[in-house]
Amino acid sequence: MIPPPDDIPATVKALGRLTVPELKQRYAEVFGEPTRTNHKQYLVKRIIWRMQALREGGLSERARRRAVELADDAEIRLSAPKAPVAETGTVITAAFDGGRAAAFPKPGSVIRREYKGRVIVARVLPRGFEYEGDVYRSLTAIAQKVTGAHWNGVSFFGLPSARGKKKSEKGE
């Protein structure tokens, strides 16, 4: 037996003891239509909400009108945007920049840093970095190779971060 909706905690407890098929049946009773979900907590919350709305009255007419206005103004996308197509019928694609800052050195650039009396030289590649003839996925991997400890590669080489400032410019 489910307590009346006046005692919300007891109602939640009672609904929590029901199985999912029983909750779906209860949902159909309070909403007047079946549900496809099998998520127990969601069903309990929706049933409690509906019982309260029926007892206390749902949304005011003004709130309903406002919701309809907002829904009418919303631009709802039902499918993913199509890729741009050139006049020749081919799909136009652009290279992915990997999220590097605009001030980050471009492929082909050389990055230098002095560390413990030796000059560390890394070349920026389109996908990764070259150091002493080996290709690394990140500057962090090179910094770790050089120092033997974990370093942020951007900081190690003194490059601008994604925020656009060098560590030395931050006053650190």
Q: What is the pLDDT of residues 63-103, one digit of tens each?
A: 989 988 888 776 766 777 776 666 666 655 555 555 666 66
Instruction: Using the structure block, give the residue that is written with the tokens 């400890």.
Output: 149
Would you tell me how many other CB atoms lie within 10 Å of the CB of residue 122?
24
Taking the alpha carbons at both ends of the chain, their separation in whole angstroms is: 66
**What is the model's pLDDT at position 8?**
81
Give backbone dihedrals phi and psi of 5, rounded to 5 degrees, phi first: -65, 0
Residue 119 domain flag: yes
The number of folded domains in the chain is: 2
**What is the model's pLDDT at position 172?**
42
Last residue of a domain, one of 52, 72, 92: 72
C-alpha to C-alpha distance for 150 and 142, rounded to whole angstroms: 10
**What is the model's pLDDT at position 89?**
61
Three-state secondary-structure class, residue 129: strand
Largest Cα separation within the chain, whole Å, is 80
Last residue of a domain, one of 72, 87, 119: 72
Among 96, 94, 104, 102, CA closest to 138 = 104
Residue 62 domain flag: yes
Residue with the bigger pLDDT between 34 and 82: it is 34
**What is the model's pLDDT at position 123?**
92
Among 33, 1, 36, CA closest to 15 = 1
Residue 54 domain flag: yes
